[in-house]
Every structure is written in C-alpha cells, then in structure tokens.
Structure 1
Amino acid sequence: MDYRTWRHVFKLDPERTLSDEALDRVCLSGTDAVMVGGTTGVTFDNTVDLLGRIRRYEVPCVQEISTIESVVPGFDLYMIPVVLNTDDGRWITGQHQMGLREYGALIDWEAVVPEGYVILNPDSSVARLTGAKTELDGQDLAAYGRLADRLLRLPILYVEYSGMFGEMDKVRRASAVLHQARLFYGGGVDSPDKARQAAGCAHTVVVGNVLYDDLDAALATVAAVRSVPAP
C-alpha cells in the first residue's frame, strides 16, 4: 500500500460515535484511506470495534497508534507518531522503546510508518499531553521539516493543528524544504475552501472533527482536495 500517493484521508476517533449510515458514506466517499486514532479514550475494545465496521469496505484502513494498549491487529498500516517539538522524551523515544521491548519481535516492519509530528495548537489535548512547544514561526517549522526529512529520514512530516485551521504560509514553507518526506496536514479542515487551501500546501490532507459536526461538509472535502495539484 503506497501512502505516498494519498491526497485525502479521513481520521476517525474510536471514542466518538459515527452511525452506520455515516460510516458508509465516509468509506464510499473516494477518500484514499481511513485513519483510526485519537489522543484520549482510545482503547483496544473501541478500536477493534471500529476496525470491524470499516473492514466491510475496501478502503485502506490504518491505525495511528497513541498507546501500546490500543494496538489492534488487522490494519493495513500502523503509523507511529514521533513528536518533534517537545522536550518530553516519552513522546520522542520513550513510549516507543517500551513498546518495542514488549512486542518488537512480533512486528511486521513492512506495515510500520513513522511520522515526525509537529503540534501547533496550544489548546489541543495532544499539545497538553505531550508538552509540545507550539510557539513556532515559519523558520522554526521549516527547520523541523529538515530535521524530519534530512536528519532523521522520516517518511512523513505531520503538521498537526488539531481542531484549528493553521497558518498555510508556515505549512507551505515546511513543505518546500522536503526532499523525500511527505507532508501530512491535519487541523480545522471543515469546508471545501479550507480543504483546497491545505491541499495546495500539503501532500496529504487529513480531515477529522468535521465528520462528527457536519458530515456533508466533510464529504465535500474529498473532491475539493482532488481539484488542487499536489505541491
């Protein structure tokens, strides 16, 4: 499965409720993939339940892992966040080492994709949890882009505004310095217009919260993203 070709991804939170009818529309929307993950309240049980519902469809399904306990077999890919803009080592290598100590011998490494995460909304749950340093200018974000892309050789730089629409000039600046990494953008994409703006700066646009607030607006982002040439 080539995540490098993805332009649009829907992100579903196992803790939140989505009806069967809504899930049907999401999975048949033409999105490139469905990502399952969240910051809090994600458990093995609610993750496996959501995976079982998604598996009725042919859409690729990936898990973005937030806790070791919530890892569920059966996803197409497993995306592993490495938070770059924090001083708390638990979210850089600490949790990862603990997981590998326990399960390293069992991992299918062909299905694992690390992500260099930069979290930019100071009011978000994920920023508070990880202690992210969110006061970054465009030069800072570009530097994190080079860190992920050139120094750490991570395949994805994930710019996460988590609930708010970000500053696209900063995102564009980070995207411009990447050579091999793909830029994933998530945060506040709740309309076709914002989807188009994000698609002009990021290789992949991740749409999440609006699915639970305005499903029609969320579904309209698929065509909006595809209408914009990739950067």
Structure 2
Amino acid sequence: MSSPFYGNWRHVFKLDPDRPIDDDRLAAVCLSGTDAILVGGSSGVTFDNTVELLSRIRRFETPCALELSSAECGVPGFDGYFIPMVLNTEQGGWIAGRQAEALRDYGRLLPWEQVAGEAYIVLNPDSTVARLTEAKTDLTADEIAAYSQVADRLWRAPVLYLEYSGTFGDMAAVRRVRSELTQARLFYGGGIRTAEQARQAALSAHTVVVGNVVYDDLEAALSTVEAVINSAKEQDHVF
C-alpha cells in the first residue's frame, strides 16, 4: 500500500482563508521548504475566500490540502482533504453532523484516495475553536491519552491532531500520546513562535503545524522549517 498524501509531512504551514496575507509573505511561506500548506480556519471560511487562497498558492509547487470542516468551503483542486472531527466536545454536530453535511454536498466529488479523517483534541480554552465547539479542554494527561486511544484504536482515524491553538502545549503529554499510538499519525499545532519550540514539537509529534506566527512574525515562522528538518536527525536518539 502506498503512503498517504500526508505520510511524509514533518512541517506544515497552516493558512486561514479569512486572514489576509500579501503576495510577498505568501511566496516566502510557499518557498520555505515546508512539506505542505494546510488551508483551514475556525470561522469566516467561505467558498470564495478558499478558492482565492488556493489560486494564489497554486503559483507554487508546494502541496496544498484543505480541512473540509463545513459545506461552505468545499473547493475542488486540492492535493488532499482532511475531514476534521472534535473528540472532546459534547456537541455531536462537531463529531459527525457537520462532516455529514459537507459530505452530503461534496462527497461524490471528493478524490477519496486523497481524503483522511482528522480527529482533533482541542486543548486551549481561550481559542476560537474551543469556544465554537464547546470543547472540554481541562483534560488530564490520562484523559488526553484516553481520547487519543478512541481515535487511534477504536475509530482507526488516520490522523490525530492535538490542537493547543495559540498557546504552546505540554510536550510531555504530546510525547505520551505519540508513544501509545498504533497507526495514527500525530499532528501537533499551537503556540509555535520560535525555532526551539518547533524543534521540541518535532521531537514529540510526527507532524508540526505552524500557523499564527506566519501573520505576526514572518522571520520567526520561516525559522521553524529548518528547526523541524534538523530535528529529524535527532529522532533515532529520542524514540
């Protein structure tokens, strides 16, 4: 069986269609050496702004994937699609309802060999995604591990995403989750603003997602790419 489209990703930049980014900054991100661009956001994502961002990214050869979180942003032409599900919420619409709506409208059009389920554990209570989904974020390390087992062993979700969105997370908890996974690839996102934080995240998760700092401090964002690449050389000494 061939590797999934995200199977070799170590570093990813995440861009929000609802946030403006000028051409020079976008070019720097796409030419940075990152493995991929992930397009998605927690609010304000529409068909029009997603199409507009994709068309600009397509000037470069960097692979680009979309988080298809609602029917409003179903745009063809991406290299891959993730269907996000929030595990730690009691609002069932974020577990399967919105996903079913999106697939009702676009499922017949999706290249299913390039589609992956993405199980989120949302861990920053102050983040937009936590408020929007009413996520239960005050989880212990044992509870985080339990949710990860639901995704990995029960649901067999191909991707597990630990989302600290806006704050740098507990790397010990991230490493524990990774050590207990049987088949899922672990994505980490949240609060990465320095090369050192990117290095720590890369030693703890399979894939590091860098987002907000792209808009706030481009030089710092670009420094995370080399940090993650260099961390690959350390992996044999950690795991």
TM-score normalised by structure 1 residue count: 0.97
2:120 is equivalent to residue 124 of structure 1:
no
Q: 2:199·2:231 contact (CA, 8 Å) conserved in 1?
A: yes
Q: 2:17·2:53 contact (CA, 8 Å) conserved in 1?
A: yes
Q: Residue 90 of structure 1 corresponds to which residue in structure 2? A: 93
Q: Residue 141 of structure 1 corresponds to which residue in structure 2? A: 144
Which whole-Å deviations, capped at 9, do the CAs of 1:182-220 have from their partners, x for residues lacking one? 100000001001001101100000000000000000000
Q: Residue 10 of structure 2 corresponds to which residue in structure 1? A: 7
> Structure 1: which 4+ aligned runs deviate by more than 6 Å?
none
Which residue type is aligned with residue 113 of structure 1?
Answer: A
Match 1:226 to one of 220, 225, 229: 229
Q: Residue 40 of structure 1 corresponds to which residue in structure 2? A: 43
Which whole-Å deviations, capped at 9, do the CAs of 1:116-171 have from their partners, x for residues lacking one? 10000001110011111101111111111211111100011100001111111111
Equivalent residue runs for 1:56-205 within 5 Å: 56-205=59-208
Q: CA deviation at 1:70?
A: 1.1
Q: 2:124·2:130 contact (CA, 8 Å) conserved in 1?
A: yes
2:218 is equivalent to residue 215 of structure 1:
yes
SS at match of 2:38: strand
Which residue type is aligned with residue 181 of structure 2?
Answer: L
Q: 1:80·1:114 contact (CA, 8 Å) conserved in 2?
A: yes
Which residue type is aligned with residue 85 of structure 1?
Answer: N
How many angstroms apart in 2 are the aligned matches of 1:204 and 1:30? Answer: 14
Aligned residues: 231
TM-score normalised by structure 2 residue count: 0.94
Q: 2:71·2:103 contact (CA, 8 Å) conserved in 1?
A: no
How many angstroms apart in 2 are the aligned matches of 1:197 and 1:166? Answer: 10
* RMSD of Structure 2 on Structure 1 (CA): 1.1
SS at match of 1:3: coil
How many angstroms apart in 2 are the aligned matches of 1:103 and 1:118? Answer: 25
User: Which stretches in structure 1 are left out of the alignment for 5+ residues?
Assistant: none
Q: 2:70·2:101 contact (CA, 8 Å) conserved in 1?
A: no
Identity %: 61
User: Which stretches in structure 2 are left out of the alignment for 5+ residues?
Assistant: none
Q: CA deviation at 1:67?
A: 1.8
